[in-house]
Structure 1
Amino acid sequence: MSRVTGNQPEGTPTWIELAVPDLDRAMDFYGALFGWTYETGTTGAADAAQPAAQRRYAVGLVDGRRAAGLMEWPDAAGGAWTMYLATDDCDGTAKRVADAGGRVLWGPTDLRDLGRAAIAEDTVGARFGLWQGRARLGCEVVNEPNSLVRNDLIAPDAAPARAFYAAVFGYTLDTNPDMPDADFTFLRRPDGHEIGGIVGDPAAGAAGWGTLFEVADTDAAVARAVAAGGTASEPEDNKYARQARITDPFGTEFEIGARPTA
């Protein structure tokens, strides 16, 4: 699926959002990298110190369809893209998060008529969001250049994370025969659809969900990222894509990848 016209099934990555200290600088960088245009406004998302905070917000568009969100947050730096998982019942899913040993850090709360949201932390300390779409579905374009293609959780100890996500979302857990020496587990919805994976890496620091954007040409995208003020690793080929790690001007790391041409 690349064009999304309805709410995604429960447990599917459905939205990504990044807090940035300088929204205009972020819009310039991600616009240069991905060619995003933007719709802008303010959001009522609050923090404890400013309960009625109105923050500047931009939604990156691919061919006029929503691909990702950028929120201005003065103290944000070196963070990570927040991945939101779809839910038909934000409150019920938040309860399952707590029952499975995770923590609900914010919400559930209504964001005007757009949807109902929460931010949670799993049993290995990785944060993620919950999104019950109403007027706003989430990502309207995925799995094509300049949009979200994949999220994987990287954790020093993968076992607690596997148990947690299976309990909360009913995922089935499958190993990857293409990676027999890796501690890697596919996460699949009850209908069998793969939504991502969990990577166990004892050398990893804090656990976190990674974000991979598809691009048409990895090398060209790396050059654009560097020219726009970011940094990048050398592109590398694997079985699935030609990938590189990008760091934006604020220290946020994420991956880009182009599908094999043959």
Structure 2
Amino acid sequence: MPEVTGNAAQGTPCWMNLVGPDAATAESFYGPLLGWEFERAGAEYGGYVVATVGGKKVAGITGGMPGPAFWGIYFATDDCDGAAKRATDAGAELVTPPEEVGPLGRMAVLTDPQGATFGLWQGREHIGAELVNEPGALAWNELVTADTAASAAFYGTVLGVSNAPIQPGVDYLTLTVAGRPVCGIFGVPRPQLDAAQNGNAAWKVYFAVPNADTTAQTATTHGGKILQPPINSPFGRFTVLTDPLGAEFAAISPTPPHPQ
């Protein structure tokens, strides 16, 4: 179901957070692009901005942060401290050690052994995204890496997820929770990764939209750029964009599921 009413199962991507220097610029871009409205947290949370669709929380924005803007992924976990320890034991580096976020939950941020940054979220009052797979909401996450097997083994150890190939002959694995695909791991040649991401793996976010072509056009009129013009895939028509702060993301018009 697109509406989420409780904590997601461990290993499921449950929240996306834009980290960048200017929350106001992000709001003026993503508001018209994805139909987002915004709520601002109190001073105790540093003015954190929560994006909503139809009153449902879909993503967050952290402003006032130096460096290039980027979209970060958080995985649901039943035990943030335990998952963080498993991650560091498996070669990850701590960016933010496990800490309380008021009554909302407990979080940690790490860098995996392939160089991709990710977060852990043990939800309490804040469960994460309250809407998924609907226009304006999270549709998919994908790790781009030169070593899909090593990445799948790492996240399997940390989160207890399984993995499966998407189809024979394609270097793409899906991470699965209770047999359900929750995100992907896409293999690219090392030289390509070196050129695009300085050799580091990176998580990518896909937001659902009604029309990828219209979304690409809207992005350019609000200061964004098109990295990949709209293209068809077996899972829908998608485009890869950057926002005015330089953060990369994808917008996809998902293919409707076949009737059972």
TM-score (norm 1): 0.91
Aligned to 1:3: 3
Q: Distance in 2 between matches of 1:38 and 1:10?
A: 27
Q: Distance in 1 between matches of 2:155 and 2:222?
A: 37
Give every structure 1 segment of 4 or more consecutive aligned residues whose post-TM-superposition deviation is greater than 4 Å.
none
- 161 and 182 in structure 1: CA distance in 2 versus 1, 3 angstrom threshold: same
Paired AA for residue 239 in structure 1: P
Matches within 5 A, 1:216-231: 216-231=210-225
Kept in 2, the 8 Å contact 1:23–1:56? The answer is: no
Matches within 5 A, 1:169-208: 169-177=159-167, 180-189=168-177, 191-202=178-189, 203-204=192-193, 205=197, 206-208=200-202
Does the residue aligned with 1:113 lie in a helix, a strand or coil? coil
User: How many aligned positions are there?
Assistant: 249
Aligned to 1:166: 156
Paired AA for residue 241 in structure 1: G
Aligned to 1:19: 19
Matches within 5 A, 1:88-107: 88-107=78-97
Aligned-pair CA distance for 1:43: 6.0
Gaps of 5+ in 2: none
Aligned to 1:66: 57
Matches within 5 A, 1:246-261: 246-260=241-255
Matches within 5 A, 1:13-162: 13-42=13-42, 44=44, 55-77=46-68, 79-162=69-152
Aligned-pair CA distance for 1:122: 1.1
Kept in 2, the 8 Å contact 1:213–1:255? The answer is: yes
Aligned-pair CA distance for 1:224: 1.2
User: Which structure has more helix as a fraction of its residues?
Assistant: 2
Kept in 1, the 8 Å contact 2:77–2:159? The answer is: no
- 89 and 74 in structure 1: CA distance in 2 versus 1, 3 angstrom threshold: closer
Does the residue aligned with 2:48 lie in a helix, a strand or coil? strand
- 210 and 64 in structure 1: CA distance in 2 versus 1, 3 angstrom threshold: same
Paired AA for residue 54 in structure 2: D
Kept in 2, the 8 Å contact 1:236–1:243? The answer is: yes
Identity %: 39
Q: Distance in 2 between matches of 1:73 and 1:193?
A: 37
RMSD across aligned positions (CA): 1.5
Q: Distance in 1 between matches of 2:67 and 2:56?
A: 26
Q: Distance in 2 between matches of 1:102 and 1:183?
A: 23
Kept in 2, the 8 Å contact 1:110–1:116? The answer is: yes
Gaps of 5+ in 1: 45-53
Aligned-pair CA distance for 1:17: 0.3
